[in-house]
Amino acid sequence: MATYPDNTGFKSTFSRCELTLNGKIYTAITNVSIDQPTERSGVKGTKPFPIGQTAGTMDLGEGTITFSDEAERMQFINDLGDGYREKLWGLTWVIRSGTETFKTECVGCAVTGNPIDHGEGADALGGDIAFSFMSHKINGKSPHLP
């Protein structure tokens, strides 16, 4: 019979997320999802196939923040103030895996959507905010060289 290693304590965990706005920190966040793909082009020469690739370009990234507390989500929108989809803010979160820590930062974030679905019961708690961002770093490392 095969024995399997005890992986308890080795799984990556969503450790902490902080959304910062004007010195105020919001922490009732249970999930963050982002994507900022690089679009590359081929470098053409005298061959019928590409002879290289460009470094590529990145447009605004897109993401979603899931709040566990609807009141804090609505407070964040309220604190952004009038014209809240035009205000920029920052987002940082940490993933822990064993003894390693991975910090992700999004810079120049702006709300692009905030669906509202209020109801009663436990399923009605929390909610999402869709956002765009200008750039991101993982442990201080950028996706492209300056």
Residue 6 lies in a domain: no
Task: List the one residue out of 108, 122, 22, 99 whose CA is nearest residue 62.
Answer: 108
Residue 143 lies in a domain: no
Residue 40 lies in a domain: no
Residue 73 lies in a domain: yes
Non-local CB neighbours of 141 within 8 Å, separated by 6+ positions: none
pLDDT means over runs of 10, the chain (146 residues): 49 73 87 94 93 94 92 92 95 85 93 85 78 96 90
What is the rounded distance in angstroms from the CA atom of residue 63 to the CA atom of residue 32? 7
Beta bridge partners, 63, equal 34, 131
At 61 the pLDDT is 97
At 123 the pLDDT is 62
Beta bridge partners, 39, equal 57
Residue 10 lies in a domain: no
Residue 71 lies in a domain: yes
As to burial, measured by CB atoms within 10 angstroms (0-12 exposed, 13-18 middle, 19+ buried), residue 100 is exposed
CATH code: domain of residue 25 = 2.40.30
- State the total domains in the chain: 1
Q: Tell me which residue range forms the domain holding 107.
A: 15-33+60-138
- Do 26 and 19 meet the contact criterion of CB atoms below 8 Å apart? yes
Non-local CB neighbours of 37 within 8 Å, separated by 6+ positions: 58
Residue 89 lies in a domain: yes
Residue 55 lies in a domain: no
